[in-house]
Amino acid sequence: MGCMNSPDTIHLNDDVRARWDTNAAFWDERMAEGNAFHLHLVEPAVLELLQLEPQQAVLEIACGNGQFARKLVSLGARVTATDFSPAMIERARAHTEPFNAQVAYRVVDATNENALRALGERAFDAIVCNMALMDMSDIAPLFRAAPHLLKPRGRFVFATMHPCFNSNNPVFMAEMREENGVVSEAYALKLTGYLESKTYQGLAMFGQPVAQFYFHRPLHELLGAAFRAGLALDGLLEPRIPETQSNPRWSSWFNYHQFPPALVACLRPTP
């Protein structure tokens, strides 16, 4: 088993955690029980691949304010919800009093394989990680731990920013066209980097107290870490914003219907 141990990576991970602690109250207020991006895009795709059954044991990684853990409990699951930010776990617990019997919150660092495996050998029917892999300085420990945490035929479902379209600071573009008296709008993305892994800072929500770290990984690196850990790809979705949804702010993802801002995948341990 392994965990991060170099001074540089430990320092970076501590910085990542400190920023999420600082943003916790703002994030909790803005996310509440799910913002539009989550409810229209992420949640339906994750639940489709998760195929949850009543009383199944689910481990959530990077649970934030516990919003999705509470959703899983409402669907009949028994949930262990983890986050490496103590401030986030405090927020999650404050919202979850009625569900205490079905959800347990734990402060666990998903970049520490030993800490993850301590949650229980073959203890979970499913692992779920929503929109957090791109926030993790190291994803290999989580993928290595997953086969040991999952029951036979268990699955690991994750949603992340789509590395091809919504990572490494894409530039949003819009233009107005007039042809034969008909005015139309076209939306496009300009991408200047994809194949090179990159660490950068950005905002998940406008107005948050401090910028957070993002870790751009091209698909071969993202999925390669899972394959090397003995996980196989069993399902893949590229959810897009419904055509019926739009936003007055032209640079909102709710206007870019031809691009999937998230990638959702189901992994299973190989025999």
Q: What is the pLDDT of residue 3?
A: 44
Neighbours of 180 (CB within 10 A): 4
Q: How confident is the model at residue 5 (pLDDT cuts 50, 70, 90)?
A: low
What is the pTM for the complete model shown?
0.92
Q: What is the mean pLDDT of residues 32-52?
A: 94
CATH number of 7-162+218-269: 3.40.50.150
Confidence of residue 1 (pLDDT cuts 50, 70, 90): very low
Boundaries of every domain in the chain: 7-162+218-269
Of 69, 78, 84, whose CA–CA distance to 31 is shortest?
69
Name the nearest CA neighbour of 148 among 230, 67, 211. 230
DSSP-H helix ranges across the chain: 7-31, 36-37, 43-50, 67-74, 86-95, 113-117, 140-149, 219-228
Amino acid, res. 180: N
Q: What is the pLDDT of residue 165?
A: 96
